[in-house]
Amino acid sequence: MNTRSLSFRLVTWYAGLLTIVFVLLGALTIVFLRHYLEANLLDIQARRARQIADTLLVTASRTGDAVVAQEVEDLYSPEANDRFIRITRGDGHIVYASGKPKDDSFAPSRVPPPPLTRKGDLLRKESLASGSLLIAARTYTGASDLRYIVEVGVSTARTEATLRQVLLMLAIGLPIAVCVAVSGGFILVRRALKPVDRLSYKAEEITQHNLSERLPVMRTGDELERLSLSLNLMISRLEDAIQSSKQFVADASHELRTPLAVLRGELESLAQDAQLKSQTRETLGSLLEEVDRLAEIVEGLLALSRLDTGEAKSEWVKFDLGELAATTADQMSLLAEDKNITVACELSPGVAIEGDRARLKQVVVNLLDNAIKYTPNGGRVRLKITREDGYAILDVTDDGIGIPPEAVPHVFKRFYRVDGSRSREQGGAGLGLSIVKAICAAHGAHVEVVSVPGKGSSFRIKQPLASGTSTHAHV
Residue-by-residue DSSP string for 417-471:
-SSHHHHHHTT--S-HHHHHHHHHHHTT-EEEEEEETTTEEEEEEEEEPPTT--S
Residue type, 13: W
**CATH label, 223-308, candidates 1.10.287.130, 3.90.380.10, 1.10.10.1100, 2.60.40.10:** 1.10.287.130
6-163 and 223-308: same fold? no
Query: Cβ–Cβ contacts within 10 Å for residue 161, how many?
Result: 10
- For 220, which DSSP code? T
pLDDT means over runs of 10, the chain (475 residues): 73 86 91 92 91 83 81 88 89 88 86 81 85 89 80 90 91 89 83 79 74 77 80 83 69 69 76 76 79 73 65 73 91 86 89 89 90 89 91 92 88 74 53 85 89 91 80 39
Question: How many angstroms separate the CA atoms of 128 and 431, rounded?
Answer: 93
Question: What's the rounded Cα separation, in Å, for the pair 199 and 224?
Answer: 10
Burial of 459 from C-beta contacts in 10 A (0-12 / 13-18 / 19+): buried
Q: Are 265 and 291 in contact (CB under 8 A)?
A: no
Give the dihedral of Cα atoms 333, 338, 344, 347; nearest 10 deg. Answer: -20
Contact 304, 249 (CB under 8 A): yes
Q: 432, 369 in Cβ contact below 8 A?
A: yes
**DSSP 8-state class, residue 222:** S
Instruction: Kindly give, in sequence order, each residue whose CB lies less than 8 Å from that of residue 195, ignoring residues fewer than 6 positions away.
Output: 216, 218, 220, 224
Long-range contacts of 219-228 (CB under 8 A, 24+ apart): 220/195, 224/195, 224/196, 224/199, 227/199, 228/199
* Distance between CA atoms of residues 283 and 276, nearest Å: 11
In one letter, which amino acid is 247? Answer: Q
- pTM given for the model: 0.50
Which amino acid would we find at residue 234?
Answer: M
Please give the CATH number for the structural domain made up of 6-163: 3.30.450.20
Q: How many CA atoms lie within 13 A of 84 on its CB side?
A: 25
- Domain ranges, ordered by start, for the chain: 6-163, 223-308, 314-464
Report yes or no: 472 and 452 within 8 Å, Cβ to Cβ.
no
- CATH assignment of 314-464, given 1.20.1440.130, 3.30.9.10, 3.40.50.80, 3.30.565.10? 3.30.565.10
Find the length of the chain. Answer: 475
pLDDT at 267: 76
